[in-house]
Structures are given as C-alpha cells and as structure tokens.
Amino acid sequence: MSEHMQDQAMKKAFVIGFPISHSKSPIIHNHWLSQHQITGIYEKIAVDPKDLKDFIRQFKQQNYQGGNVTIPHKEAVLDYVDVIHPTAKRLQAANTLWLQNGQIHADNTDGYGFLANIDQNKPYWHQNDPVKQALILGAGGASRPIIDGLLERGFDIILTNRTRERSNAIVELFTKLGYQDRIKAIDWQDRNKAMTGQSLLVNTTALGMSGQPKLDIDLSNLPKTALVTDIVYTPLKTEILLQAQERGNPNIDGLGMLLHQAVPGFEKWFGLCPKVSEHLRNLVLNA
C-alpha cells in the first residue's frame, strides 16, 4: 500500500490548545483506538491564537475527522465553524469539532462529561432528592457547562466566585436563556453559610490544585447526604474531597469528567462509542 493510500485509510483526530503539552487527551483516545483495533491516530497540536482560523479552515485537507479544542480556543473557534450545536451556542464555547457532509460541526461535551462521571460513580444520585439544590464554587469557563447540565437536570443553582462580577455575568447569561428564577450569585465570603440545604457541592476553581493556593472551605453547614465533587484531579483527592470523606459525604474526584467528555468526540471521529474503564483511569493517573 502506498504511503498516500495508507494516509487515506488512517482516520485522524487532534486536540489543539496553546500550550498543549500538558494534555492527557491523547492517552485516552489512543488507548481506545488500540483497544478497538481501529487504524487511527489522535495527536496534540499547539496552535497559536493567530493561526487558529487557518488551522480550522484547513484541517480536513489533512485527513482529520475533527478534534478537541482546549484553552485558549474554546470561544474563538466558533467564528470559524459551519454548524454550532445548541449546547455550544448556549455556552458560547466548544470543545469538540467533527466533519459531517463536508461541514465543520462544533459542540460542547464538558457538561455531559461532568454528569456522566457522577452517573457512573453514583447512579441514582439525585433521584430521591426532594430538593435539587447545587452550590457551585467558581465562575470560570469550566463552570458554565456544569451549570448548564445541572439546570437541564432540574437543579437550582447558587454560584459564588472570588470576583463577584464573573458570577454576575454567568447569572446574566442563564437569565437570558430563561433560567432567571433558578440561578443566583452570592458573595465569596458567604460560601460556607450557603452550604445549608444543598444537595450538591461542586468546586470548579483551580484552588486546591497542585501548585495553586488552598481552597479555604468549611463544610460544617453542608447536609451529610450532599454529594461533593471537584473538577480538579491533581491531586486526585483534593482538600474539599478529603473533608467530605471525613464527614461521611459521598464524593467524586474530577478525573472522570475528563474521561467522559471524550466519549462523544471519539464516537463522531472513529464511529464507535467507547467505555470509560478503571484501566483507562489508571493509565491517565500514571501518565
């Protein structure tokens, strides 16, 4: 088989960001490719913001089926695609691109990944909950898809961030989408008081991550039944999760969100829906 024909048979996907060296996505996708014996490759590519438009417009010529988009391109990429799916449109950010009938499609699977992680680890976690009430710490890019997913599941949201303006901007975004009665912002200093009556507590800040300042939090007011989760996974057991564990609260680490958000993209590019397994978790942890 000629090199050109081989290249034609080989399905390719990418993750782009700037920088990109830290990305764990290739471990995930290349594991699934080899597990399912698919002739394909998933690679990380550093794309400078000034080159983003050219890269997006030209990737299909290089036989890519699509790919993932990470910081700082998640918002900007929407200017260069053909079809923006509803979740990406609502959040004004995409993390997954694919080709369909020659057009570039964009969607956001972060909220799906967040919920699928909890569904896998704590099935039925909110089915018996009379009050669906979540306290979200942090109003950066990561919090928007999580809030979006939780609103879809019927949760009411209290949002708090060190800078109040950022929380207000997110509340405004979801108010415009018709959720005005279901999301409100509070000041950061009121976060511990706001734990009362919550059924879910989510840390979406980088606080508590290796090399970052500590997340100063007191769970005393949180009901013992509330589920606690952190999207940080370095370290795997963050301060907030250790506190939750000590009190006997159910808790889930953030690594599963990364694994699950990868599933829809892989299915689009390589035509098969992969499973998130313990083996894959360990591969990423040991990388």
pLDDT band at 268 (very low <50, low <70, confident <90, very high): very high
Q: What is the pTM of this model?
A: 0.94
> What length does the chain have?
287
What's the pLDDT tens digit per position in 97-127?
999 999 999 999 999 999 999 999 999 888 8
CATH number for 126-249: choose from 3.30.930.10, 3.50.50.60, 3.40.50.720, 3.40.50.2300.
3.40.50.720
The reply to whether 3-109+257-286 and 126-249 are identical in fold is yes
* Residue 126: predicted pLDDT: 85
What's the pLDDT tens digit per position in 219-246?
999 999 999 999 999 899 999 999 999 9
Domain range summary for the chain, segments of one domain joined by +: 3-109+257-286, 126-249
267 vs 234: which has the higher pLDDT: 267
pLDDT over 80 at 4, yes or no? no
CATH number for 3-109+257-286: choose from 3.40.50.10860, 2.60.40.10, 3.30.930.10, 3.90.70.10.
3.40.50.10860
pLDDT over 80 at 274, yes or no? yes
Is 24 one of the catalytic residues?
no
* Residue 8: predicted pLDDT: 53
pLDDT over 50 at 158, yes or no? yes
Chain-wide mean pLDDT for the chain? 94
Percent over 90 (pLDDT), the chain = 90
What's the pLDDT tens digit per position in 200-211?
999 999 999 989
Mean pLDDT of 11-35: 96
pLDDT over 70 at 166, yes or no? yes
Q: Which residues have a Cβ under 8 Å from the Cβ of 119 and sit 6 or more positions away?
A: 125
Which residue out of 11, 12, 44, 74 is catalytically annotated?
74
